[in-house]
């Protein structure tokens, strides 16, 4: 009986083990069937993992621009192009909050306050008034400026090599450019004894440039006559007030005045007054000459700084203020015809890159 019982127990154990094996086989089969689910779960997890790998970091940038005119617009376009070339593209992984103050100081301040309250990864301020307002309202978010003539004079930074705090950027002027242009006027326009300047005295960059131009003209025995404006609607009247009193016209990087460049060009053409400017874009529109560069390239340079901040964690306070270094004379020959200017070979020789900077009729 014991022998039978022992044998029965052995047989039972074998059957149980076999049954477990079969059960395991079923479980395996169930896993295979369930592997559809498991695979689905794995795919989901894998998808999430892939999403984590392929999903791009999202960026938010606030832009404050004092007014709408070709140079400032080109600056913004160049800035965004540099970001796009680095894989930061609007509509994909970049959200841009663009604000245009339309030259209004109240709007400018409101925009700065709005951007300071927003959750941006970076702020771009285009032109001196915008940069000053943003700098006053925001001391933490990385901030870059562009189209600023005198960062030190505007008290945006205290050191050009190491700005400190949360701000850096690029100046859009080189004092040498102003001197070269004034010397050009003296050398090639012997009949010019006075130059008229429409200016917003409330814009620091315009005043700095005007003072530099006045100094350079004075060294050549030429007088600078100023006509002040407080808003864009006054530009025409101010320009007309200079007619008969001056032999040529000049404008600085004065945002209020440049916004009314078409009016100035029309008066210059009607009165046959040579019109000199401080940026390439106004020459392309119809001013006669400048010593300058492309504002698109200027904006692109600032965009490259933004990439370093956004992608590599660079600190704006450690980034040097940059200045334009590729200066050249830019002459508009069609504008010369409209203003009754005889363009001499001596004038043309001042243009180094004649293919790009000698604008043909």
Continuous segment of H or E residues that includes residue 71: helix 70-85
- Binned at pLDDT 50, 70 and 90, residue 70 comes out as confident
Q: What is the mean pLDDT of residues 330-351?
A: 97
Q: What is the mean pLDDT of residues 143-164?
A: 94
pLDDT tens across 171-208, in order?
988 888 999 999 999 999 999 999 999 999 998 889 99
Report the side by side order of strands in the sheet with 223-228: 223-228, 194-199, 248-250, 275-276, 289-292, 328-332, 358-359
CA 301 to chain centre: 8
Whole-angstrom CA distances from 286 to 160, 273, 274, 338, 361 are 34, 12, 11, 9, 11
Whether the predicted pLDDT of 83 surpasses 50: yes
Whole-angstrom CA distances from 60 to 57, 94, 98, 121, 163 are 10, 6, 11, 5, 23
pLDDT score for 31: 37
Are the C-beta atoms of 64 and 130 separated by less than 8 Å?
yes
pLDDT tens across 94-117, in order?
999 999 999 899 999 999 999 999
pLDDT tens across 307-327, in order?
999 999 999 999 999 998 788
| Partners of 331 in beta bridges | 289, 358
- Binned at pLDDT 50, 70 and 90, residue 55 comes out as low
CA angle 349, 352, 357 (to 5 degrees): 100
CA angle 324, 327, 330 (to 5 degrees): 130
Q: What is the average pLDDT value for the chain, to the nearest integer? A: 87
Whole-angstrom CA distances from 176 to 127, 321, 353 are 20, 17, 18
């Amino acid at each position: 009986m014991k022998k039978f019982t022992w044998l029965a127990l052995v047989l039972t154990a074998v059957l149980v083990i076999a049954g477990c094996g079969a059960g395991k086989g079923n479980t395996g089969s169930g896993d295979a069937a369930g592997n559809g689910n498991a695979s689905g779960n794995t795919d989901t997890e894998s998808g999430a993992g892939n999403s984590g790998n392929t999903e791009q970091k999202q960026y938010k940038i606030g832009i404050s621009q004092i007014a709408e005119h070709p140079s400032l617009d080109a600056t913004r376009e160049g800035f965004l192009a540099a970001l796009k070339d680095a894989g930061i593209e609007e509509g994909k992984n970049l959200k841009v909050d663009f604000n245009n103050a339309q030259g209004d100081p109240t709007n400018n301040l409101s925009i700065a306050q709005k951007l300071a309250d927003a959750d941006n990864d970076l702020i771009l301020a285009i032109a001196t008034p915008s940069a000053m307002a943003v700098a006053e309202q925001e001391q933490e978010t990385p901030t870059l400026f562009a189209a600023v003539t005198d960062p030190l004079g505007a008290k945006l930074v205290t050191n050009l090599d190491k700005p400190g705090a949360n701000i850096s950027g690029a100046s859009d002027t080189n004092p040498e450019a102003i001197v070269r242009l004034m010397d050009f006027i003296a050398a090639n326009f012997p009949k010019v004894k006075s130059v008229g300047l429409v200016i917003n005295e409330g814009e620091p960059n315009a005043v700095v440039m005007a003072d530099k131009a006045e100094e350079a003209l004075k060294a050549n025995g030429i007088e600078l006559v100023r006509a002040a404006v407080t808003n864009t609607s006054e530009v025409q009247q101010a320009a007309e007030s200079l007619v008969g009193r001056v032999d040529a016209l000049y404008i600085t990087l004065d945002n209020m005045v440049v916004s009314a460049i078409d009016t100035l060009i029309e008066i210059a053409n009607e009165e046959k007054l040579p019109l000199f400017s401080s940026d390439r874009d106004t020459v392309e529109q119809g001013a006669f000459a400048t010593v300058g560069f492309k504002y698109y390239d200027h904006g692109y340079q600032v965009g490259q700084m933004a990439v370093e901040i956004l992608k590599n964690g660079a600190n704006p306070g450690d980034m040097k203020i940059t200045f334009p270094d590729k200066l050249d004379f830019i002459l508009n020959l069609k504008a010369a015809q409209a203003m009754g200017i005889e363009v001499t070979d001596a004038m043309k020789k001042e243009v180094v890159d004649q293919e790009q900077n000698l604008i043909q009729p």
